[in-house]
């Protein structure tokens, strides 16, 4: 069995050092890995990222993360990523990593993902340049996640995104904004790659549990949804 702790949308900023210290210490013996589902900072600045890095680098288990829209707000993805990776946190973007847990190879593929919507309410790849660019980003990042999942040489696959792959875990959010909270293309690639579990954040008013059309369990681990520091999932191997 592999134990996966996960949380997203912690939105740490300057002056918040130490707020996760006790919770992270409690991971010892409770989880084998900690996955962070984006929106780790408030405004995507390097100083905020260093707070996140110092906080989660202290975890007693490996930490794997994707970025979120808040982490990209400062237009310094490279700086944010470097602050985290310099502290030993693995940051995924259309890429993957493999961790060995008691002889079992756990593969995690991740991307921030993007909006685009779900059947009957999707963004059309037509019209103005801005609309076509929106649709193209959705396709590119979903496709990148699919490639990262396919390339994994592992025993168990997990998909980690910030945006949601299914509408189930968005219930509670206004339906009008679903196209900005996730994309069915993420679910399509998750279903195509023998994925055991999908985790995301972003939807603060959403619901905790859902499934892809192919039956893969999907969980919204945004901190405001969890009402606790993280949630632990157990995967039988």
Query: Which residues are paired to 34 by β-bridges?
Result: 5, 63
In 3D space, the residue among 30, 28, 12 whose CA is nearest the CA of residue 20 turns out to be 12
C-alpha 36/C-alpha 46 separation (Å) is 17
DSSP secondary structure letters along 49-63: HHHHHHHHTT-SS-E
**Domain 2-235, CATH number (from 3.60.21.10, 3.40.50.720, 3.40.605.10, 3.40.50.1100):** 3.60.21.10
- Report the percentage of the chain scoring pLDDT > 90: 92
pLDDT digits (tens, 9 = 90+) for 184-217: 999 999 999 999 999 999 999 999 999 999 999 9
Q: Residues with Cβ < 8 Å from 151, sequence gap 6 or more?
A: 96
Cα(118)–Cα(209) distance, rounded to whole angstroms? 17
Q: Residue 168 and residue 181: Cα distance in Å, rounded?
A: 12
Confidence of residue 19 (pLDDT cuts 50, 70, 90): confident
Render pLDDT for 116-137 as a digit per residue (tens, 0 to 9). Answer: 999 988 998 899 999 999 999 9
- What is the pTM assigned to this prediction? 0.98
């Amino acid at each position: 069995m592999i134990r996966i702790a996960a949380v997203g949308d912690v939105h740490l900023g300057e002056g918040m050092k130490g707020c996760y210290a006790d919770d992270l210490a409690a991971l010892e013996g409770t989880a084998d890995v900690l996955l962070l589902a984006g929106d780790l900072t408030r405004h995507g600045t390097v100083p905020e990222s260093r707070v996140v890095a110092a906080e989660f680098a202290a975890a007693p288990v490996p930490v794997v993360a994707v970025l979120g829209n808040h982490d990209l707000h400062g237009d310094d993805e490279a700086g944010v990523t470097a602050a985290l990776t310099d502290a030993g946190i693995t940051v995924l973007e259309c890429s993957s990593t493999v961790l060995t847990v008691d002889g079992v190879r756990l593969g995690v593929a991740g991307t921030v993902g993007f909006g685009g919507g779900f059947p009957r309410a999707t963004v059309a790849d037509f019209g103005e340049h801005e609309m076509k660019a929106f649709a193209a980003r959705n396709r590119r990042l979903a496709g990148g996640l699919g490639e990262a999942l396919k390339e994994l040489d592992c025993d168990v696959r997990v998909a980690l995104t910030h945006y949601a792959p299914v509408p189930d875990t968005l219930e509670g959010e206004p339906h009008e904004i679903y196209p900005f909270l996730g994309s069915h293309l993420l679910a399509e690639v998750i279903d195509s790659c023998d994925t055991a579990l999908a985790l995301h954040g972003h939807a603060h008013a959403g619901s905790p549990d859902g499934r892809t059309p192919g039956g893969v369990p999907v969980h919204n681990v945004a901190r405001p949804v969890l009402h606790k520091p993280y949630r632990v999932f157990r995967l039988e191997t």
